[in-house]
């Protein structure tokens, strides 16, 4: 069964590389323009879709300019009870929460945002895209476009892709799980996380390359294993703090 998963994931990544290349490049162009203009590239996801957000910044190989939007109420830290999945699933499907969340962020038209949601139906990612669009941001989404057969559940009548400037397909089936086993109807082993993180890292690479080509040297987190000066990452933190203070 593990071979089946590896085969299907490899096919998904190959499909992304073949069919989403131009969208990824267009998104990277927008992100590089935002960072060059002194803006931010906001990152958002809820539930398991927070994983690529956590993996973009801060982490080795990424750089200042990305600004994650974390809300513990839209992440789970438990299965049941406080911080559990049921509470999260209830909240991310309720309209009206994201505008309250965004009161803590000063989004500007020079900024961009990258939103992850496999299904692209829940209120949290859809409203994040709508609210960011109202503020003039370039909105990039990563979701399953095979899920277009599903009916929109948000009162706007929009799915995440519909509310996006650039909509990247994660190329994963709507049900997400990939592996079938004889004797049971349910499938095992999700594909959207591997897909989303792969797209996220491709975007980091493309954005970083565009910045360097334009003469900008991004303040990049680097593994201490490569022998850079001991204070390198401390200076990255300081640069990040300067970008935060400039918005206050």
b vs e for 35-55, b when ≥16 Cβ sit within 10 Å of the residue's Cβ?
A: beeebbbbbbbbbbbbbbbbb
Query: Count of CB atoms within 10 A of residue 62's CB?
Result: 21
pLDDT of residue 151: 85
How do the pLDDT tens digits run along the chain, 248 residues long? 788 999 999 999 999 999 999 999 999 999 999 999 999 999 999 999 999 999 999 999 999 999 999 999 999 888 998 889 999 999 999 999 999 999 999 999 999 999 999 999 999 999 999 999 999 999 999 999 987 678 888 989 899 999 999 999 999 999 999 999 989 999 999 999 999 999 999 999 999 999 999 999 999 999 988 888 889 999 999 999 988 887 65
- CA 165 to mean position of chain CA atoms: 14
Average pLDDT, the chain: 94
Q: What is the pTM of this model?
A: 0.95
Going 99 to 31 to 172 to 9, the CA torsion angle's sign is negative
* Cα–Cα distance for residue pair 240/45, rounded to 1 Å: 21
pLDDT in tens, 223-235: 988 888 889 999 9
Q: Which CATH superfamily is domain 2-245 in?
A: Glucose-6-phosphate isomerase like protein; domain 1 (3.40.50.10490)
Other Cβ atoms less than 10 A from the Cβ of 71: the count is: 16
DSSP secondary structure letters along 83-134 = T-HHHHHHHHTSTTHHHHHGGG----TT-EEEEE-SS--SHHHHHHHHHHHH
Beta strands 112-116 and 66-68 are unpaired
């Amino acid at each position: 069964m593990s071979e089946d998963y590896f085969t299907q994931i490899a096919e998904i990544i190959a499909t992304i590389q073949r069919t989403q290349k131009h969208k990824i490049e267009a998104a990277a162009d927008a992100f590089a323009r935002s960072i060059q203009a002194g803006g931010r590239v906001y990152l958002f996801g809820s539930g398991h879709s927070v994983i690529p957000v956590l993996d973009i910044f801060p982490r080795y190989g990424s750089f200042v300019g990305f600004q994650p939007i974390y809300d513990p109420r839209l992440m789970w830290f438990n299965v049941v009870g406080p911080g559990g999945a049921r509470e999260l699933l209830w909240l991310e499907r309720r309209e009206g929460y994201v505008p309250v969340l965004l009161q803590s962020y000063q989004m500007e038209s020079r900024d961009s945002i990258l939103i992850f949601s496999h299904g692209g139906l829940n209120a949290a990612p859809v409203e994040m895209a709508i609210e960011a669009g109202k503020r003039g941001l370039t909105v990039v989404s990563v979701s399953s476009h095979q899920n277009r057969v599903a009916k929109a559940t948000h009162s706007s009548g929009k799915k995440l892709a519909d509310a996006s400037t650039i909509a990247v397909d994660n190329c994963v089936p709507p049900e997400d799980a990939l592996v079938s086993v004889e004797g049971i109807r349910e499938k095992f082993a999700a594909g959207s996380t591997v897909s989303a993180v792969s797209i996220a890292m491709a975007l980091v690479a493309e954005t970083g390359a565009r910045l360097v080509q334009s003469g900008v040297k991004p303040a990049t987190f680097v593994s201490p294993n490569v022998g850079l000066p001991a204070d390198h990452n401390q200076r990255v933190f300081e640069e990040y703090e300067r970008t935060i203070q400039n918005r206050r």
